[in-house]
Chain A
């Protein structure tokens, strides 16, 4: 159990680091299963994080901050929907636009409103989501091994962490076991068939885009009012894109998405932990190796060297009714 004790802190931070990835990855999953490619995950999370930071500072209410984050993220998602569903625009171009809008607007408005170089003022603990100690965690902490694991890895996270993990079975259930989910998946594979059945392709896709917006909103709120105490410029730092990579890795399925996000979070935690410490056998490994690993693995996977990743058939293709 000694060895478990040694990696418990790393596992704990791996869980914390994987949460924004998980929210964004599930958001991408919903969107892409309906046939809408979402490069704008990064932008939506960033916009949400800013909204959460600003509202938490102004009201001191973390739940209001979450609501604001969701509102901003869903609005950006609707812009994406308007361009790519209503006007059949290029989904990738639209996603790129959203990333730029969010990157620019958050800093611009942040500077105009708060005058702190684009960040929102530091939040007090009362305005943040605080850790929840699960029953028995304090006693468990006295014991090493699994007790310690329970106290540090399972317990002690804020409510958004548990909601993220709850969103995984929920996503699976709705997509796999409900009529709405079946139709949504069908729209991503064969929109013509769905249209022929008299169901609106546009409505289903808008629904997916909104759900993606809600999830990115949670991810953004987590960054600004749970993990950190306020918004800082570019605080998503590419997490939206790692989430896309995770989505490819998970082959557009919820449970593998969770496992991949945990793995990427773990790589991140290890990179932070290993800074300057030599490893056995291989010696000192540059931190950058761990940082680059998710990206490199994704490219290798996409090239079909370790299993094939096949996206939903209709994803990225605007739907045009046949005449």
Chain B
């Protein structure tokens, strides 16, 4: 994603530049709050207090963070291979079907027995939904952006069909499956932390959070310490050159999409088995799309994604509190901020860059000037 790496010192490229872009996004968000007739500074205070000011708030923040780590990594892995996967939402939805099928099939069995199967189902179903767009791009030349958008819609139509006609709870007003038995649900962190004297209130944080941390590490290892990761990055930077390095770009595109879909699928473990305890129509709640903002903001690097996912966790939890205290500022404020982050950190990435290059890379600039 970074345009011309190496021209800027690393701390500018990975620290200062994203910081400036995100700050710009927040300044514009502040203007929107002003336009509504509220005080942006107070809004920020309420958000931070709501997200980080007390233990239950932190629990909620980390629960949202978990989801955004998965979808952020999903989008980032595809990015590294030069693919823009807009389909994390659909992949997570389909993974939810897998997790729900497993949990309902083993309903009543202890969670630790069911968990490996649910975990595997989430990876498998998510990857399967990403496979077709990946395959179509690699072998049939259709663009992954359009196909993943189409697959998001097909996934949501499929969800409606399954929940209304096949696996839904009979006689229920809303399309949803029956609730998973208590024993089969993932345990909650609040029950595990209570003996240690930590009270995180009613927050839905569960051990999937630990899986998210592991995923961050594993993705880092995969991208920078394995042959597969090297091949992905090579294809992402220049597919034509990669061919000469003996890499089959088509194979890498498919593998990258499989990994991307599997990562997005993990969201379903957190939501279906950990929090909602049943399959709901819109259980993904747009987290797949948040992943786009998270990956762009985190510069497709696991460390950056951890930070960006946490920031969006704060925004989601803080936004809920803000909407409660200031009814004029609805939770849609978070969607606006998300859009602005994508705009400034993604599409307008090159707006600030030339100025920074003049400031921090005088030698590179001088060399370029001498050439022309």
CB-CB < 8 A to B112: which residues of A? none
Tell me the bound Cα distance from A101 to B340 in angstroms. 7
Asked if B338 and A94 make an inter-chain contact with CB atoms under 8 angstroms apart, the answer reads: no
Neighbour of B145 across the interface among A39, A88, A291, CB < 8 A: A39
Neighbour of B158 across the interface among A89, A118, A288, CB < 8 A: A288
Q: B332 at the A/B interface (Cβ < 8 Å)?
A: yes
CB-CB < 8 A to B330: which residues of A? 107-108, 111, 118
Asked if B339 and A98 make an inter-chain contact with CB atoms under 8 angstroms apart, the answer reads: yes
Task: Determine the interface band of chain A, counting residues with CB < 8 A from chain B.
Answer: 35 or more
Task: Determine the interface band of chain B, counting residues with CB < 8 A from chain A.
Answer: 35 or more
Q: A96 at the A/B interface (Cβ < 8 Å)?
A: yes
- Considering the complex, give the chain B residue whose CB is closest to the CB of A99: B339
Which residues of A pack against B, CB within 8 Å?
A: 39, 79, 82-84, 87-94, 96-105, 107-109, 111-112, 118, 238, 241, 244-245, 248, 286, 288, 291-292, 295-296, 298-299, 302-304, 311, 323
Asked if B146 and A248 make an inter-chain contact with CB atoms under 8 angstroms apart, the answer reads: yes
Segment at the interface with A among B51-59, B203-211, B348-356: B348-356
CB-CB < 8 A to A298: which residues of B? 146, 150
Tell me the bound Cα distance from A89 to B140 in angstroms. 27
Neighbour of A100 across the interface among B140, B165, B339, CB < 8 A: B339
Which residues of B pack against A, CB within 8 Å?
A: 32, 35-37, 84, 86, 132-133, 136, 140-143, 145-147, 149-151, 153-154, 157-158, 160-161, 165, 289, 292-293, 296, 327-330, 332-340, 342-343, 346-351, 372
Neighbour of A90 across the interface among B165, B289, B335, B346, CB < 8 A: B346
Tell me the bound Cα distance from A21 to B10 in angstroms. 46
- Considering the complex, give the chain A residue whose CB is closest to the CB of B289: A100
Given contacts A89-B348, A292-B157, 4 further A-B pairs with CB under 8 A are: A79-B343, A89-B346, A89-B351, A299-B132
Asked if B160 and A288 make an inter-chain contact with CB atoms under 8 angstroms apart, the answer reads: yes
Asked if B140 and A303 make an inter-chain contact with CB atoms under 8 angstroms apart, the answer reads: yes
CB-CB < 8 A to A291: which residues of B? 157
Neighbour of A92 across the interface among B136, B145, B328, CB < 8 A: B145
> Given A83-B343, A299-B147, A323-B372 in contact, is the A105-B32 Cβ separation under 8 Å?
yes
Distance between A37 CB and nearest chain B CB, rounded to angstroms: 8
CB-CB < 8 A to B142: which residues of A? 299, 302-304
CB-CB < 8 A to B141: which residues of A? 304
Show 9 A/B contacts (Cβ-Cβ < 8 Å), sorted by A: A82-B348, A92-B145, A93-B296, A94-B343, A94-B347, A105-B32, A108-B32, A241-B150, A292-B153
CB-CB < 8 A to A103: which residues of B? 332, 335, 339
Asked if A302 and B343 make an inter-chain contact with CB atoms under 8 angstroms apart, the answer reads: no
CB-CB < 8 A to B327: which residues of A? 111
Distance between A256 CB and nearest chain B CB, rounded to angstroms: 17
CB-CB < 8 A to B161: which residues of A? 286, 288
Most buried by A among B142, B161, B338: B142
Tell me the bound Cα distance from A97 to B177 in angstroms. 33
Most buried by B among A107, A118, A302, A311: A302
CB-CB < 8 A to A79: which residues of B? 343
Tell me the bound Cα distance from A112 to B43 in angstroms. 15
Distance between B332 CB and nearest chain A CB, rounded to angstroms: 4
CB-CB < 8 A to A90: which residues of B? 84, 346-347, 349
Asked if B153 and A83 make an inter-chain contact with CB atoms under 8 angstroms apart, the answer reads: no
CB-CB < 8 A to B328: which residues of A? 111-112
Tell me the bound Cα distance from A291 to B160 in angstroms. 11
Tell me the bound Cα distance from A111 to B32 in angstroms. 13
Asked if A295 and B347 make an inter-chain contact with CB atoms under 8 angstroms apart, the answer reads: no
- Considering the complex, give the chain B residue whose CB is closest to the CB of A298: B150
Tell me the bound Cα distance from A101 to B336 in angstroms. 5
Asked if A288 and B340 make an inter-chain contact with CB atoms under 8 angstroms apart, the answer reads: no
